Amino acid sequence: MKQAEKTKGIATEARSSSMTALLKGVLIAYCITAIVFLAYAVLITYTSMSENYLSVVSAGTTIVAVIVAGFDAARGARSRGWLWGIAAGAVYALILLLIMSVVQKGFYYDSRTVTLIILALSGGGLGGVIGINFRK
Q: Model pTM? A: 0.84
Q: Where are the domains of the chain?
A: 2-132
Name the nearest CA neighbour of 17 among 71, 93, 75.
Answer: 75
Query: What one-character DSSP code corresponds to residue 136?
Result: -
Contact 28, 72 (CB under 8 A): yes
DSSP conformation class of 76: T
Tens place of pLDDT per residue across the chain (136 aa): 465 555 555 556 556 788 899 999 999 999 999 999 999 999 999 998 888 989 899 999 999 999 999 999 999 888 889 999 999 999 999 999 999 899 988 887 888 899 999 999 999 999 999 999 986 5
Q: Are 87 and 22 in contact (CB under 8 A)?
A: yes
Contact 99, 58 (CB under 8 A): no
